[in-house]
Structures are given as C-alpha cells and as structure tokens.
Amino acid sequence: MSRPVVKLGGLVLGGLALAGLVAAAGQAHAAGFAVAEQSASAGGTAGAATARSGDPAAGWYNPAALADGAGLRLGLGVLLALPSVSAQASDGSWSEDAESKLSTPPTLYASWARGQSAFGVAIGVPFGSGVTWPGSWPGRFEITSSRIEVARIAPFYARALTRNGKLRVAGGAHIDLGRMRIGRSLDFIDTEGSVALDLSGWGVGLDAALFWQAARGLDVGLSIKSRSTLALSGGADFEAPLAVSGKAQDQHADSELSLPDRLALGARWARGRLALLGDLELVTWSRRAQTVIDFERDATPDVVQEDRWHSTLAVRAGAEYAPRPGWLVRGGAFLDPTPAPDDALAPSSPDSTRVGLTLGGGRSFGRVTVDGFYEYLTLLERSAQNPEALAASYGGHAHLFGLSVSLLR
C-alpha cells in the first residue's frame, strides 16, 4: 500500500481514505458512528434499557428478558434526527455550518414467547452517520460529504434457566449490511476536480445476553454484541483534467469497515410507581486503527488513513414514573465519550464527546402501546491538534425525536 498522503501532479489523495466514514459530526447518535437510540421507550431513558423487560425492543437491548412466556410481541418505530454542526478557523478568519439533513432510521422487533423459551428477530440501524459541507468551504479538499448506513438483522433464541424465570439467557447472530458514500474536491493547483466513492458490503457477528431478577424490584441485564467486519466494494468516480486522467480514472475500489463489540451492563430498580434505570456501555472502537482504500488501477495509489481510535465507556441513566394506570413519563441523561484522539481530529472526522438529556412517555391502549421521546444532544467543542489537517474547531448540537408502536398478545 502507498503512504497516507500521495500527491500526483497536484492531486492530493490522502484525505480520500474513507475519511467521511468516521465523520460523526453530521450524525446525531452515539460517539463514533453508533446509533444508541433503538426504541422510543429506551430513548426516553437516555438509552438505559439493558435491564428492561416486557418491551418488544428488548429484542435489541436484551433478548433474554423476553423468555417470560408472554406470547407475541411486535414493535415498529422510527427515529428522526436533525443535527447542526459548525466549524470555525483557529484564527477566526472563517466559519462554516454543515448542511442539516433529516435522517429517519427505522426499527422492527418481533418475538414469540411460550413456556420457558422465546425466539424472534430485531432489525434496526445500529451504525450510521452523515455530513455535508458547502461545496466551496475551506476544507473541501479533505471532505465535502459523507454518509454511512449499516442495517442489522439479528435473529435470537432465549430460554429461562429456572422454572420461576428469574434467570434467563439468549444467544443469536447478526448480519450487517453496510453502504458508504464519500465525496471531496481535488486540488489541481490551477483548477479543481472531484471524486465520489460508493461502496457496500456485509458481515456477520454473534450475540449473547443474560437477564436476572436479582431481588424483588431489582433486575440486572447483560448484553454482548460481537464485532463484525464488512468487506466493502464499489466504484470511485473521478472528475479530473486530462493531464492527470490516467491516474484518476473511474474504477473499482475496495475497503473494509470494522464494527466494534458492544458490551452493556444494566440494572432496573422499581418501587411503586417509580423505576430507575442505569447502563454502562463499553464499545471497542479500538478496532479502528486505520482505514485503507484499495484502488483497482495500479496508476492510482492506494490510500491509508491512520485512525487510532480507542474504546469508550458511556454512562446512561433514566427514570420512569406511572402517574396513573396506562401512562408512563420518562426522563434521562447520558455521557458518551469520543473515541477519536485530538491529534487525529479533522473535518473528515470531527468526532466529539456527546452529552444528552431526554424526555419521553408512553400510553397503553389495551394490548397496544404508543411511546415517544425527545432528546437534546450537545457535541462538545474540540479544536484540531492535527498538523496535517485544517486548523479549526468543531461543535454543534442535535434534536432527536422517536415514535414507536408496540403490540402484545
């Protein structure tokens, strides 16, 4: 493979290295490019749901909780995310706002529990990000747009190990289907060109979970979702002057997307109308040491981007209160650290620590329950300490709304 930054007659390819793949600034989700909000009920408690039972979304957060003999559970939901991200030059000479685009990742959960066993499937978008900067902004030679989406299909089987159902376990697998699109401008000194990548692929992983009714009113949950590696392939489309067209021709390109392990430990304590929930979430972002693009043509150098991410531990806490039968109100807060080191900060990956507050509620109509939530998320401001990147600071915020409908029979 070639060195990270290669100049070909003024054509700088280094920033092309799937840089937008890790561009979390345009996303409104967990640090890195994970999407923590996988249901409206969990969203109302800041994503703390590993020890919640009775909810169809347990198919994602902890499928072991579903081995309770309660029959059919169905859940359908949608998340609306509207981010706002800005960049400002370190010397104050310019500032830019990324274009805000509404994203709507869906979720679907279905399970059947009878006796001591349960089986089902969880479908959602656990990883995703997107950012679009103005076409003339100062960082256009590093990134103009990027988008990554990973859909996950996760079938599972759960079983109660004790007759009273206090100890339950689950196991399963997941299939990840990913697509990544990147765009940036190319500098030819006296003119400009552009390149756009569109790659897709798939990978597989394993899941395990445990649910324990530790004491009266106290439940404990553990969820493990393993890593997966997606082999990405697709096309690279160049717009370049004739003088360098031999090294910047439209062609096939390959890469690899390494998704992390996720380990979550949670507890739920209930007394009367009040329930308190808390989760600790470990994500092994350290798998992202570097990202490589392998171009089909020998004349176009392959590119390596050093990521050097580290694993993170997020803290999530929330509460539920039932003011009257059939009603629930929720609230929560979370802290989700960034996995990206300061010296790797760039407009292609301006990831930052996220702090969020949530509000939500639910209403039951017999066997049907409707849940909703709102989240305000702050992206803590960071300044680039990367001598090879644009000298700028980045920050922003996001508004998230979620709605889900559940059926229990």
What value does the mean pLDDT of the chain take? 86
* Residue pLDDT, tens place only, 228-241: 999 999 999 998 88
Q: What is the pLDDT of residue 242?
A: 73
pLDDT for residue 147: 86
Structural domains for the chain:
7-408 (2.40.160.60)
* Residue 179: pLDDT over 60: yes
pLDDT of 290 over the 50 cut:
yes
Q: Give the pLDDT score at 254.
A: 94
Q: How far apart are CA 209 and CA 226, in angstroms?
A: 11
**Predicted pLDDT of residue 349:** 64
What digits encode the pLDDT tens for the residues 120-152?
999 999 998 888 888 888 888 888 888 889 999
Residue type, 99: E
Distance separating alpha carbons of residues 289 and 387, to the nearest angstrom: 19
Q: How far is CA 95 from the centre of its chain?
A: 27
* Per-residue model confidence (pLDDT) at position 136: 85
Q: What whole-number distance in Å separates Cα of residue 106 and Cα of residue 375? A: 17
Tell me the pLDDT band of 392, cut-offs 50, 70 and 90. confident
The C-alpha angle with vertex 265 and arms to 262 and 271, in degrees rounded to 5, equals 145
Alpha-carbon span 311 to 356, nearest angstrom: 20
The pLDDT of residue 28 is 41
Judge whether residue 398 has pLDDT over 60. yes
| 367: pLDDT strictly greater than 70 | yes
Q: Calculate the alpha carbon distances from 65 to 9, 77, 113, 160, 266 in Å.
A: 60, 20, 10, 9, 12
How many C-beta neighbours within 10 Å does residue 403 have?
Answer: 15
pLDDT band at residue 246 under the 50/70/90 scheme: low
CA atoms of 10 and 15, how far apart (whole Å):
13
- By DSSP bridging, strand 11-12 and strand 95-97 are unpaired
